[in-house]
Structure formats: structure tokens, C-alpha cells
Structure 1
Amino acid sequence: MPRYTTYGRRLGMALFMGLFGALAFSLLTDGGTRTREVASFLPAADQVLSWTGLRIEQVALTGQRFTSDADVFEAIDLPNAGSLATFDVEAARERVEALPWVSTAAVSRVYPASLDIRITERRPTALWANGGREFLVDNTGRVLSGLKPGTMVRLPRLAGEGAPQDARALLELIVRYPNIAERFVLAERVGGRRWTLHLKNGLVVHLGADREAVAFAALSSPDELGGFLNARNVVIDLRARGRIVVRRAPASASIIQPPSQS
């Protein structure tokens, strides 16, 4: 029985392709009288395929959590998608991958009338404070979405122009120094060149450009600057090479507090 079923399907497909080929020839040559440009033929081909039942009638979405179905449908331009056979899956994939949360997408045709879209989303790795709001960003610096006020998220916090794009190396370095990581509150990008760290108890550390590793080693050593990690309202200035300045924070300075853990 399966053998006859397979043969029947193949015969049906062959008949369909033969019919479509004849229709395509007729459309391209206006009934065999003259030739037409392929570009002008495509809308007519879509119409023929629509008559034969190859319209896109169903879209299966998997893998998305933060990307809405509506955004995906808009990206693939579903109302104007035309027939399944002429649908440009590569262009659709590129448009879906341009959505903020989407890392990769696979778009494939499922005959006779469906699209299958499989999405892998990006993972937020930090919060970026900008313009009075906070945004989720990933480790490439891509802004994923704004954070609703009052939402508690336990992620490293960033501030300053360009911070999301430049933070990956800094955050990976901080993880290697647990005594700094456990006190970390916020990393502020300054002038697109260097970082200022805000740690617990109002401790502020101005880092020199491209000298973060040296500074963290000194801050982690009891024989160097490690004793200041438990200090309150102290500023450690390491911006100048070979020079360390330690001073009390101004009384008017605002202390950046770590987020509540509740």
C-alpha cells in the first residue's frame, strides 16, 4: 500500500509541475506570441500558484520568547508574501534576524501551504542606563529592549555612551576577581576610552585606559590597594600611569546603590 501511495503522490506532483510549466510558458510568451521579462512574469506566476492552492496559509513559529509573533509576521511581510513557491526565504530570514532579540533564524517552506520559522534569541548580559531609562543589552552591545520601571533584574549595570559595545572585556575580567565582583555596582564608560567603577559603600575607582587588569590585580592584593575595598565613600584614582591618588569622596557626591535583592 505505501508503494502505491508514494507513486500517486509523485504522479500528482508531476501533473502539477506539468500544468504549472504550461501556464508559465503561456504567461511568459503571452500564449506563445512573444516573450516577457521574468520580473513582469512573477506577479502573474504568484497568481497562478495562488489558484493552484500554494498560498501561504500557516506560519509555525518556534524558539521565541521575547520576540512577538506580530513582529515576526511584520518582518516577513506576510500580507504580501504571495505564493509559497516564490517566497524569498533568504530575504525573510535576514529581516527576522534584524529584530532586536533575534540571534539567528531559519525560514523554510513546508508544502503545500506553510512556513516554518525557527528562532534563537539573544541572551541579556547587562543593564544599560541611558536617558533616564534602563535597557537590556547582550554581550555584543546590542540593545534588546527597555526595562519596565520597577522590574528587578540581577545583571551587571552599565552607564555612559558606548558602554554596551565596550563592556564585554571588562565584565569578563571582573569575574576573575571575586572580591571586586561581589562589590560591583556599576561600570561607567567615560569619554569612550576608560571606565569608572562604582562599588559598594560608595567606593569609586577611576581606571586608566586599557589598564583594567593591572588595576584589578592591585585592588585584589592586600599588600597594595586591597585594604580600601571595604572603605566607605572613598575615591581611588588610577588614571595616571604610575600614580595612585586616594581621597575622600565629596560630601555632595551621590552614592550609587546596588539594586535590591528582594
Structure 2
Amino acid sequence: MSGWRKKSKKSIIKRKRKSPERIIFLVRKFGLVLGVFVLIGWLGSWFFLSDADYHTKTWAHEKTLGFTADLGFTVKDLLVEGRHYTDADAVMAIVNVRKGDPLFSFDTKSAQDMLNKLSWVKSAHVERRLPDTIYIGLTEREPFALWQNNKQIKLIDEDGVFLTDHKLDRFKDYIMVVGDEAPEHSGDFLKILNVETIVRDKVESAQYVGDRRWDLVLKNGITVKLPENDVSLALSRLSLAQTEEALLDKDIKMIDMREVDRIVIRTKPGAVQDYQEYKASYKSNTASGDSI
């Protein structure tokens, strides 16, 4: 044991004698490593602050696009499906590519986002189709009605979304809805009206009254006041009256259907009578050969 202790002491003495040299070595090594990190940090700062990173990325990006173009990945075809109403010039302006452009330089997401902002477009899908085609698939909104507000006429879809106010002649057969809140409520109402085609074909416009119910204005000038509730039932009764008695073709001014149990009509001279009385009179006069 005593020999082991003496050997240990000598070993310790030797290490103590070498320790100043080792410290100097470690200091020099640490200084060298620190200098390397400082140099890397300085180069990194210069790289970012001087926009060298941007120029390097741009250079690499351009070289990559050039390489893919040399391999044949260039724009040769633009395929658009589903476009019927959307303006073709607007689509081309958004795509903004020419034949021969590198296919991978086209930003599909940006183009898709901009297409989705067009009024006619409900949804758009854009993709690159290798090796040389850009594909655009459009789902368009369907025209549903004309909306008149503040003497301006606009085309809307069934959700009340504005589509266009230009070249409306081609949509002249659509029913016109009138009123500030008409677009938001016209979808469900016009779907109900379209079921009763015998009435629908005679309607010129529909006015949303008091933000709660509708008035119909027929092509011959007759106004039909519909109830707030049970609109489907009221239109069904009106359709039956037209089928049986051609009520909507008579020389009358207004038909009031706001009461469930009767139809009130107003003749042009201003007289008011109950539909039941009108019906009995109509049958009586028809039997005797007269017409109303």
C-alpha cells in the first residue's frame, strides 16, 4: 500500500508540473475555436444583412427553373374547365403566363386564391400537369334572380351573392326581386314560387315588404300580397284559382292572400269583394254566357 501511495504522489507532482503548459494549450485552443465562431457569426451577419442570402436564393431558384425548362418542363397548354360566365380576360390576367415559360415558375396557390375572389367563381382548383400544362377547374355560381335596389339592377345567385351588373340583357327572363334585404331571403322564396309554374310564369317582380313577407307584381300589373307564413299554401291556392278560373287574367288590381281562409280581390275601379263571392258570381255569369 505504501508503494502505491508514493507512486501516486509522484504522479500527482508530475501532473502539477505539466499543468501550466496544458493550460496554455487549452487557452490557445479555446481562442482558436472562439475565433472560428466569431468569424462564422460575422460572415453570417454579413450574409443576411447584405441581402446575400436573397441573391443566393434567387440565383439558385433561377438556375433550378432553367434546368427544369431545359428538361422540357415549360408551359405549352392552358386548360380551363367549367368557365361559362367568368370573364376569360380576367382569368388570363390572373394566370399571367406565356408559352415557353418554366412550368415550375407558375404559382398555383396564388392563382387559385385570386380566382376565388372573382364574383362568378364559387371555387377554383389550379394545378400543374406535367410536363407542360396548367389546369384550371372552375365551379361557377348560377344566376338566380335580378335584384333592384336604389334604381340599380344586379344579378345575384340563390345565396344572394352579387354576380354582375353588366350585360344583363341575357338574364332578362329572371325574376326581379326588390328591397334592401331581398337577396338574403330570395333563395328559399323563389324555390317555392318555381314549384307553382302557372303563377311563376306570370310574375314580373317580387318585393320584400317590411323585412318579413313578399308581394308579387305580375306582368299585367296585378299585385298579389302574400302572407308572412305558409307561403307555399298561399301560392298553391293561387295556382288552383288560376287553373280553375283564370283569376290572374282578370281585370283586377290587387289580390290579397294574407288571410288563410279567404282571398280578397280589388277591382280596378276600387271595389273590394271576397273571393268566395267572386267565385260564385264567376260561375253564375259563366253559366249565362257572360264573362268577367
Is 2:60 the counterpart of 1:60?
no
- What is the rounded CA distance, in whole Å, between the counterparts of 1:163 and 1:57 in structure 2? 46
* Superposition pairs of residues 50-199 of structure 1, within 5 angstroms: 50-52=65-67, 54=69, 57=75, 60-63=78-81, 64-76=83-95, 84-85=103-104, 87-112=106-131, 114-148=133-167, 153-199=172-218
Contact 1:219–1:226 under 8 Å retained in 2: no
Higher RCO, Cα 8 Å, sep 6+: 1
8 Å Cα contact 2:66/2:102 also seen in 1: no
Closer/same/farther in 2, CA of residues 95 and 149 from structure 1, 3 Å limit: closer
- Aligned pair count reads 216
Over residues 191-231 of structure 1, what are the superposed CA-to-partner deviations in whole Å (9 max), with x where a residue is unaligned?
A: 432211112322111223233113213323449x9764233
What TM-score do you get using the length of structure 1 for normalisation? 0.64
Q: Is the 8 A contact 1:136 1:143 kept in 2?
A: yes
| Aligned pair partner of 2:62 in 47, 55, 58 | 47
- The match for 1:232 among 251, 270, 283 is 251
Higher helix share: 2
What TM-score results when the alignment is normalised by the length of structure 2?
0.58
The 5 A counterparts of 1:213-232 are 213-222=232-241, 228-232=247-251
Cα contact 1:124–1:136 (8 A) shared by 2: yes
Partner Cα separation in structure 2 for residue 42 and residue 164 of structure 1? 50
CA 106–162 in structure 1, closer or farther in 2 if over 3 Å, else same:
same
8 A contact 2:144–2:156 mirrored in 1: yes
After superposition, the Cα gap between the structure-2 partners of 1:100 and 1:50, relative to the gap in structure 1 and judged at 3 Å, is: same
Q: Indicate if the aligned counterparts of 1:59 and 1:117 stay in contact, CA closer than 8 A.
A: no
Residue 241 of structure 1 and its aligned partner are, at CA, apart by: 7.0
- Report the structure number with the largest CA radius of gyration: 2
Q: Percent identity?
A: 27
Structure 1 unaligned blocks of 5 or more: 1-29, 252-262
Distance in 2 separating the partners of 1:111 and 1:226: 66
